[in-house]
Chains A and B, each alone.
Chain A
Amino acid sequence: MQIYLPIAEVSVDAFLLLGLGAVVGFLGGLFGVGGGFLMTPALILIGIPPAVAVASGANQIVASSISGAVSQWRKGNVDVTMGVVLLIAGVLGTGAGVVLFRLLQQAGHIDLVVQLSYVLLLGVVGAMMGLESLRAVWRRRGGAKAPGRLHPHFWVHRWPLRMRFRRSKLYISAIPPAAIGFIVGVLTAIMGIGGGFIMVPVMIYLFGMPTLTVVGTSQFQIVFVTAVSTLLLAATTHTVDVVLAILLIIGGVFGAQIGTRAGQLLRGEYLRGLLAALVLAMAGKLAYDLIATPLDLFSIAIGR
């Protein structure tokens, strides 16, 4: 069943979009990630203009991450102080990202920048996750005990503008959280991702936050940053396609439930290993597209 997307101005099979939402939702539920890093490239692949894919993807992540955020909030896993610092920086970052997106689009480099960012980000994150899960499997096989969690003091504990993050039992400079919040905001506006897979490792390994608080706080942050992104993009570039977003949300809701159940059947380190493989495969495909000779060296951009 073909459906005309009023903002994207293309006609797409509605079941293809429902299916895409379901697959990404399934993977999101399985691995506990938002799945924006899969959604945006997939939408661009089926012919949705990149700007619309990013904005509508951000809108869809609001739906896919809100239930997790609500339950984390109830369990008291959200460090509100940290969340607010991340959020303020995130909103500023989103604003900067929207401007950057426009400039790059005018210069004709937006596709390149989006693709390169994906390759770098997915490559690094995928490699880190892969190594970590391999080590975990290795330890289990070898029967050695995992080392106990330390609270190492890095440079972040010495910088100025120190704040007390009560829930995380931290007293660190506000600059690093603000910086990471800002970066994630920029990436949300440019790449249509929630950014959970960047924030989580940074908060655990760099800030030394407790894992539970990290998961709760990052989900809280993702809901708000994607919501603000959607609002800003809707108000400035008019690229949020609600028809597209609704179809993705409906598919995603069902996919996520099945994925969550499937996730409980698999062991954590295997799950992370699988996710790492998926992320690396995506990075590899995008990298290949950058270096392979294109079918037509010329492309056109039709202005209105």
Chain B
Amino acid sequence: MIVRHRPTRASFSALAALAALLLASPEARAQQVIADLSRHLVAITTGFAGAEVLLFGAVDGDGDVVVTVRGPEGDVVVRRKSQVNGMWINTLSVTFGAVPGYYAVAATKPIEDIISGPVAEREQIGAQRLRFEPERNIPPDRIALFRAALLRNMERDGLYQPRTATIRFLGQRLFRADIVFPANVPTGLYTVNVYLVRDGQVVSAATTPLSVSKIGLSAEIYDFAHNRGLTYGLIAVAFAGFAGWAASRVFQRA
């Protein structure tokens, strides 16, 4: 179940203020595209089951809008199984660096229709165009195979959104898009890039940060487990011992 965060009255008034700013200020006019999120923090609480964040913004003049969301980068090991003595065993592996833990794209039209190939390549728009850093001395055909497997697995886990989400225009200038985060979303700092595209070229861009972090009880348990592991373990064992013993006493009486 995805917890939906409907655009609130506050976010719409923010949108209106944004539009007013865009029309009035000469500085913003040069900017040509501005955007913001309904919130800059996705809080992973005990009841967390995924979240949706509203991105809204305004453009000055014609053009299409493309939004990318990148999660924190890290290493990913991709392993391939082969049949050895009748069993499937991991035999080959390739490690990729600079792999975003989350990736999503949203656009007003299909990416290929609005942006030129080289530009999309340069800006890494679309999961297929992400530039990872594979370990050295691996033949290129193997890298291509393992790279495809990496993308496929990330998509299956819901961490890379397979399809380009739709950005809708509200009238001429205002646009909005929903960014969906699954429950297994990694914690860390995210970057949301907003591009204004005209004739296949990026004419303006804006960046806004987004933080995904554990909040409340789940954060406290996590910190406690990592900073004071032995005490945490003692409490876990003491609780289990007490619960088991108490239950057997209660049921003996019943």
CB-CB under 8 A from A112, the residues of chain B are 87, 89-90
CB-CB under 8 A from B88, the residues of chain A are 290-294, 297
Closest to A261 in B: B251
Pick from B1, B89, B229, B239 the residue with the most CB of A within 10 Å.
Answer: B229
Closest to A293 in B: B88
CB-CB under 8 A from A71, the residues of chain B are 248
Interface 9-mer from B11-19, B34-42, B44-52: B44-52
Contact string against A for B residues 51-94, beta-carbon threshold 8 Å, 1 for contact and 0 otherwise: 00000000000000000000000111111111000111110010
CB contacts under 8 Å to B, within A181-238, are 223, 227, 230-236, 238
C-alpha spacing A59/B232, complex, angstroms: 12
Tell whether B236 is near chain A: CB-to-CB under 8 Å: yes
Quick one: which of A63, A298, A304 contacts B241, CB cutoff 8 A?
A: A63
Closest to B245 in A: A66
CB-CB under 8 A from B233, the residues of chain A are 230-235, 240
Interface 9-mer from B21-29, B116-124, B213-221: B213-221
- A2 contacts B78, CB within 8 Å? no
Interface 9-mer from B103-111, B146-154, B165-173: B146-154
Query: How many A residues have CB within 8 A of the partner chain?
Result: 56
**Shortest CB distance B228–A (Å):** 9
CB-CB under 8 A from A257, the residues of chain B are 247, 251
CB-CB under 8 A from B90, the residues of chain A are 108-109, 112, 299
Closest to B188 in A: A304
Tell whether B128 is near chain A: CB-to-CB under 8 Å: no
Pick from B45, B75, B80, B239 the residue with the most CB of A within 10 Å.
Answer: B239
CB-CB under 8 A from B149, the residues of chain A are 296-298, 300
Quick one: which of A63, A297, A302, A304 contacts B81, CB cutoff 8 A?
A: A297
- B184 contacts A62, CB within 8 Å? no
**Shortest CB distance B124–A (Å):** 19
CB-CB under 8 A from A291, the residues of chain B are 86-88
Closest to A227 in B: B237
Pick from B77, B78, B150 the residue with the most CB of A within 10 Å.
Answer: B77
CB-CB under 8 A from B143, the residues of chain A are none
C-alpha spacing A302/B73, complex, angstroms: 10
User: Contacts A59-B240, A234-B236, A257-B251 given: A301-B79 contact, CB under 8 Å?
Assistant: yes
CB-CB under 8 A from B101, the residues of chain A are 302
CB contacts under 8 Å to B, within A18-71, are 59-60, 62-67, 70-71
- A299 contacts B237, CB within 8 Å? no
C-alpha spacing A242/B156, complex, angstroms: 28
Tell whether A148 is near chain B: CB-to-CB under 8 Å: no
**Shortest CB distance B215–A (Å):** 10
Tell whether B226 is near chain A: CB-to-CB under 8 Å: yes
C-alpha spacing A225/B248, complex, angstroms: 21
Closest to B78 in A: A300
- A4 contacts B86, CB within 8 Å? no
Closest to A248 in B: B240
- A301 contacts B245, CB within 8 Å? no
User: Contacts A6-B214, A299-B81 given: A230-B237 contact, CB under 8 Å?
Assistant: yes
Tell whether B183 is near chain A: CB-to-CB under 8 Å: yes
Tell whether B98 is near chain A: CB-to-CB under 8 Å: no
- B1 contacts A243, CB within 8 Å? no
Closest to B222 in A: A6
CB contacts under 8 Å to A, within B237-254, are 237, 239-241, 243-245, 247-248, 251
CB-CB under 8 A from A230, the residues of chain B are 233, 236-237, 240
CB-CB under 8 A from B144, the residues of chain A are none
CB-CB under 8 A from A60, the residues of chain B are 240
Tell whether B138 is near chain A: CB-to-CB under 8 Å: no
Tell whether A125 is near chain B: CB-to-CB under 8 Å: no
C-alpha spacing A242/B228, complex, angstroms: 14
C-alpha spacing A2/B88, complex, angstroms: 34
Tell whether B230 is near chain A: CB-to-CB under 8 Å: yes
Quick one: which of A65, A253, A294, A302 contacts B76, CB cutoff 8 A?
A: A302
CB-CB under 8 A from B86, the residues of chain A are 291
- B74 contacts A67, CB within 8 Å? no
Closest to B44 in A: A4
Tell whether A128 is near chain B: CB-to-CB under 8 Å: no
- A304 contacts B74, CB within 8 Å? yes
**Shortest CB distance B245–A (Å):** 5
**Sample of 9 further A-B pairs with CB below 8 A, known A3-B46, A300-B76, A301-B76:** A2-B48, A11-B49, A62-B244, A246-B239, A253-B244, A291-B87, A298-B150, A300-B150, A303-B76
The contact sample of 19 A-B pairs, CB cut-off 8 A, is A2-B49, A4-B44, A4-B48, A6-B217, A7-B222, A59-B236, A60-B240, A62-B237, A67-B248, A108-B90, A227-B241, A232-B233, A238-B226, A249-B243, A296-B152, A298-B81, A299-B78, A300-B149, A301-B77
